[in-house]
Amino acid sequence: MSTTASSPIEVVQAFCDAIAGGDLDPVIAFFTDDAVYHNIPLEPVVGPDAIRATIEGFTGAVESLEFKVLAIAAAGDTVLTERIDVFRFPGSSIDLPVMGAFELRDGRIAAWRDYFDLNQFMSQLPQG
């Protein structure tokens, strides 16, 4: 991944686009070695390995995941996104409204915080 010539908005948009690819290697490449990922209703995790494990934890049963970016804005190296995260399961899907905050350092994501209603997500999970 080469982000040296990309603006913070371009980096975050490319990250959001990469999620839909289904391969976590290019997704994890966006993070610094000490990156912090915090789904605000849950405990934060630190480092690419922990971030990978966390993403795998909530995508294990999904057929696909897409981050639909509705709005994106930046102030310096901080990028804010308004998204609909679409989790597709066999026979159903969850459309989860999310506000995301990304802090970049040297063109990579050093911090990622997502704000969403955990109950809204959990109550829509397929039963089985």
State how far the Cα of 61 lies from the Cα of 76, in Å rounded to an integer: 36
Are 88 and 63 in contact by the 8 Å Cβ rule? The answer is: yes
Which residues are annotated as catalytic? 85, 114
Report the candidate in 111, 84, 110 with the shortest Cα–Cα distance to residue 99: 84
122 phi and psi, to 5 degrees? -60, -40
* ∠ CA 34-110-18, rounded to 5°: 110
Q: What are the beta bridge partners of residue 120?
A: none
